A and B are shown apart, each in its own frame.
Chain A
């Protein structure tokens, strides 16, 4: 017995010693939300009344929508007939209104809210990330994914069937749900989590010429990074919002999300949305098209702020949100964070995660104009390899191409990567490496660092 105990004790001691030297993700930075405030010039109400617009926009962003606006305590209107959640803030909540997926997933409750009768898909859990689901391919007649029929559209999780404010005739026969079980069993499903919206007004106001100059400046890198841009199909300019930079502007981003995630038709996306494929057959059943369209629209004969549609105000809210405030001391102390920042650049992360870009002059508010946006992104799309590939094409981005995720606010995010597959920042870094990825050299450089150096990098990232 004694002989066994001693080696075991020694082994455990050695394990603890090794763990003490191994780098770990410090986790979500505490100390209160370092994001969610308006830009300083908006807070200063410059120009006059802009703060009223911001506050109104924030209230709309947090409003829960019902189908017809008749449910007490739910001020919004137009939910469904299919949806992923019931308000903007449900998904954009961490660490403050406008952020990313919260610690407790509201989609579990959304399934049965107000009498709805939706089962909760296996990939939606209380402690998991908010997720939208997409099927990369349509299914064939044998219910197998057909690689010659690319899909990639959002498959909403829920329907309004059974809700107290939904017509009884809009039942599961006329408004079926996609087979998420089948999609999971055949591997024909991918996920996306909400992108945080802090500082996005600054991103919107970076001129294409600035992005192109940065692109050119990075082309002589010694880490094998290429990169390109996604473009707006209408005017050919660089698009920049969404996981694949598929959306040109915040208003498009807001209008699409309102329609796709909450089922609210609006002036940019004017019809109620059928599921992918359904739009090629019969469209949505008329009994489920409950409200006149567009459900969200410019409101006439009312006060100045109330005139604006929700979509316009959602865009205003995001646009006027200040960038997250990084910490200079937490976690790990100022020296570690400063080292981490230098190491981050040294190993090549900053080739894609460009530390800052300068915005153009702005007619909205002074804080948006000629400002330094410390976004840690080049807004380019890069090949991320087989490991992160999701087989969904959007605009010019192929299955494995993703926009360089802006890292500001990373310190207080819970879930990482486009599908929220990990809460561990170290795993997120390692996931950058797989066949076909532009980041393989940078990741291998990171691997050459000592544990304490890697810890400095993690501390730096969690300080953002």
Chain B
């Protein structure tokens, strides 16, 4: 997307503004300068977008399908696509409440199977979720608790192990549509990462879930994620960003603080360009008390919300499950 936009901008050179006017008959083109059409499949005027302080640190939205494998370095995720499946379209940019569409996979023209389905992989940044749920377990239980009348539970939420990770699994169906949704959710770097399998064929879904076991999912090298670490007692120096562009939008930001307390990386999840620059420039000057684990300083990742009133911390309305 960015490459295409850049290319389009380069092709259409920067020149002074002018109004083209005619009487509809003439098509005024300057002598020797051919008319250039705008590209039709490029979003040149964007709303709020993600950005980062560097290009090397992996980002949640940075995953991609290459050679039939979906890789996401941020989540340490590597998933081999089912044979004949592909990513037809990219998902939207992350939302201002920290929701990501990582990929949507579906059978392509070369798919040999008898039945069809889809796999949606999403992530929700739990620092910014508006849900009354703080864990994958609570999120899935809330899905069940708020299931609409069109759906029926097939298998209640339960803990399973997939690819050596603890997942919550929840299956439900829509009898009228004949569709089944098998949902698996786990926690990575304070995100709920969700795999949503959909099909009219439960056997296909079971096969896909079985194959999911060969997925790689490892966040061992990732910074420790700590909620609300960027608060007064932990900050030793800060300059507040001045947001001159008032759009009344929430601006969720993740930062990585190194062992010495310096900000190593800023990821603005959703902001307009001027907002993102002001926030990034300011945050890179902030200093923190090093975070200690077992009396040793460690790198941490935390979240800060700009541009909007901080939401009250969501509290689960679910009954505590009996143990």
Contacts and interface: CB of A to CB of B under 8 A. Distances in A.
B1 A435 contact: yes
Contacts of A392: 45
Contacts of A141: 15-16, 18, 30
B48 interface: yes
Interface residues of A, number: 87
A448 B120 contact: no
B137 interface: no
Contacts of A217: 146
Interface in A424-449: 433-438, 440-441, 444-445, 448-449
Nearest to A280: B17
Given A222-B183, A399-B45, A188 B150 contact: no
B242 interface: no
B35 interface: yes
Given A187-B38, A220-B146, A449-B179, 12 more contacts: A121-B24, A139-B18, A140-B15, A144-B36, A147-B44, A222-B120, A228-B48, A277-B17, A400-B46, A435-B90, A445-B118, A448-B118
A177 B17 contact: no
Interface string B303-320: 000000000000000000
A182 B38 CA distance: 12
A215 B120 CA distance: 21
Contacts of B29: 142-143, 182
B20 interface: yes
Nearest to B29: A143
Contacts of B1: 435-436
- Most A-side CB within 10 Å, residue of B23, B38, B47, B93: B47
A180 B1 CA distance: 29
B130 A441 contact: no
Contact of A448 (B8, B133, B200): B200
Given A179-B28, A185-B27, A187-B38, A222 B99 contact: no
B96 A228 contact: yes
Interface in A397-455: 397-401, 433-438, 440-441, 444-445, 448-450, 453
B101 interface: yes
A343 B174 CA distance: 8
A452 to B, nearest CB: 11
Interface of B: 1, 8-9, 12-30, 33, 35-48, 88-97, 99, 101, 104, 106, 116-118, 120, 122, 124, 129-131, 133, 139, 142-143, 146, 148, 150-151, 174, 176-179, 181, 183, 194, 196, 198-200, 246-250
Given A137-B38, A220-B131, A143 B30 contact: yes
A233 interface: yes
A233 B247 CA distance: 7
Given A142-B29, A233-B246, A346-B150, A177 B37 contact: no
Contact of A436 (B35, B92, B99, B130): B92
Interface string A115-129: 000010100000000
A215 B101 CA distance: 17
A396 B47 CA distance: 6
20 contacts: A136-B44, A136-B45, A146-B15, A147-B9, A181-B22, A186-B38, A215-B130, A224-B92, A224-B104, A226-B97, A227-B95, A228-B95, A231-B249, A233-B248, A343-B174, A346-B151, A346-B179, A434-B41, A444-B106, A453-B178
Given A220-B143, A277-B17, A435-B1, A345 B150 contact: yes
Nearest to B117: A448
A398 B45 contact: yes
A176 interface: yes
A448 B38 contact: no
A170 to B, nearest CB: 15
B24 A180 contact: yes
Interface stretch (A324-332, A358-366, A370-378, A383-391): A383-391
Given A139-B20, A179-B28, A342-B176, A437 B89 contact: yes
Contacts of B248: 231, 233, 236, 396
A389 B40 CA distance: 9
Contact of A449 (B129, B177, B196): B177
B165 to A, nearest CB: 19
Given A395-B247, A396-B47, A436-B92, A444 B118 contact: yes
Nearest to A222: B196
A275 B19 contact: yes
Contacts of A342: 150, 174, 176-177
Nearest to A396: B247
A86 B13 CA distance: 39
B194 A222 contact: yes
A398 B143 contact: no
A76 to B, nearest CB: 27
Contact of A149 (B8, B17, B38): B17
Nearest to A188: B38
A223 B120 contact: yes
Contacts of A448: 116-118, 177, 179, 198-200
Contacts of A209: none
B18 A138 contact: yes
B104 A444 contact: yes
Nearest to A217: B146
B37 to A, nearest CB: 4
A219 B122 CA distance: 12
A148 interface: yes
A162 interface: no
The 6 lowest CB-CB distance pairs between A and B, nearest first, are: A398-B47, A226-B95, A140-B15, A231-B248, A346-B174, A399-B45
